[in-house]
């Protein structure tokens, strides 16, 4: 088969160990579902994967990216059938609780495939069916999560600092966000999933609109020497005076999106909005348009 390959991250070893347990090959959809079950039923696993409701049930964008990366490295083949190319004992590289989780998932669900596997997950975890294109396979009656989805008008702000792409997307879905307005000047990130193209593609597939308003951003050079809260506020005072006050068109776009889609979010990097320029944008939205912002 080939030389032993050692992936960079522990979570990738977990993926390979799971694949190894299933004889080294699985269909893409089934692979995601078995991985999902391992996370749901054995939450103490250290694989670091989260899932969002998607076209065919629970899906991890991070896991998908890791699979593609390991294909590039020649560790596995990423086609309709995901297949290992190396003859390695990845299961032995895991911590004992993770080894046990994979073994138990295989024992409990290994004989359930295809539509039956999806039906089982939709029945046990109905939240992950709310974006499904397989409506005929969902549990009978109204999905309980649909009736609980937040309703009414709302403007949110959300920073992705400390979140994986899947955790971030779940935050949007659970708050029934219809439009994401990216206020970064340069929407590029070293963190997977948050660069403009990758993020916008994920959102479109979840039927969430994406808009980038770089004119509302702040140059990264201006943030290099910020240390204290007062440093940030000084920068934001300058931003408000020299940039934000002239962005009438961009602010009108935000107000129009709020009026049209009812539930929007302003997004940037910083977790704490008080250390992000979106705090000043939110203040202006309230003062100029009467739009209040909730920070999630």
- pLDDT-wise least confident of 137-141, 250-254, 261-265: 137-141
Mean pLDDT along residues 175-199: 96
d(CA 93, CA 31): 20
Residue 63 burial (C-beta neighbours within 10 Å; 0-12, 13-18, 19+): buried
Q: Would the pLDDT of 141 be above 80? A: no
Contacts of 278 (CB under 8 A, 6+ apart): 157, 159, 183, 266, 267, 268, 270
The whole model's pTM is what?
0.91
Tell me what percent of the residues of the chain surpass a pLDDT of 90: 80
Q: What is the pLDDT of residue 221?
A: 84
Mean pLDDT check: name the lowest of 5-9, 63-67, 289-293: 5-9
Q: Which residues contact 16 (CB under 8 A, 6 or more apart)?
A: 7, 70, 75, 76, 84, 88, 90
Q: What is the mean pLDDT of residues 193-216?
A: 96
Domains of the chain: 10-137 (1.10.10), 149-295 (3.90.190)
Q: Quote the crossing angle between the two packed helices 165-174 and 61-72, to the nearest 10°.
A: 150
**Phi and psi at residue 110, to the nearest 5°:** -60, -25
What pLDDT, on the 0 to 100 scale, is given for residue 2? Answer: 46
165/207 Cα distance (integer angstroms): 16
Average pLDDT over residues 104-123: 94
Of residues 177 and 86, more confidently modeled: 177
Nearest-angstrom CA–CA distance, 242 and 244: 6
> Is the pLDDT score of 3 beyond 90?
no
The per-residue pLDDT for 179 is 97
Q: What is the pLDDT of residues 208-249, one digit of tens each?
A: 999 999 999 998 888 888 889 999 999 999 999 999 999 999
């Amino acid at each position: 088969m080939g030389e032993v390959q050692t992936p960079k991250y522990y979570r990738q070893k977990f993926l390979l160990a799971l694949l190894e347990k299933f004889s080294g090959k699985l269909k893409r959809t089934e692979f995601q579902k078995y991985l999902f079950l391992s996370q749901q039923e054995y939450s103490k696993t250290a694989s670091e994967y989260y899932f969002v409701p998607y076209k065919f049930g629970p899906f991890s964008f991070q896991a998908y990216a890791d699979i593609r990366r390991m294909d590039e490295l020649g560790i596995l083949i990423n086609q309709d059938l995901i297949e290992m190319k190396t003859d390695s004992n990845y299961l032995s590289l895991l911590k004992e609780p993770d080894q046990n989780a994979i073994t138990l998932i295989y024992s409990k669900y290994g004989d359930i495939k295809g539509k039956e596997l999806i039906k089982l997950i939709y029945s046990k975890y109905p939240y992950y069916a709310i974006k499904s294109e397989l409506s005929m396979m969902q549990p009978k009656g109204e999905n309980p999560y649909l009736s609980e989805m937040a309703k009414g008008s709302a403007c949110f702000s959300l920073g992705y600092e400390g979140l994986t792409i899947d955790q971030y997307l779940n935050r949007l879905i659970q708050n029934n966000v219809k439009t994401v307005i990216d206020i970064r000047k340069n929407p590029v990130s070293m963190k997977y999933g948050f660069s403009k193209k990758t993020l916008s593609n994920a959102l479109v597939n979840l039927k969430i609109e994406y808009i980038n308003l770089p004119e509302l951003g702040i140059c990264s050079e201006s943030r290099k020497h910020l240390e204290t809260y007062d440093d940030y506020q000084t920068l934001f005072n300058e931003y408000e005076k020299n940039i934000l006050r002239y962005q009438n068109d961009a602010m009108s776009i935000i107000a129009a999106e709020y009026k049209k889609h009812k539930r929007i979010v302003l997004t940037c990097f910083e977790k704490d909005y008080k250390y992000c320029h979106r705090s000043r944008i939110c203040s202006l939205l309230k003062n100029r348009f009467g739009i209040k912002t909730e920070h999630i």
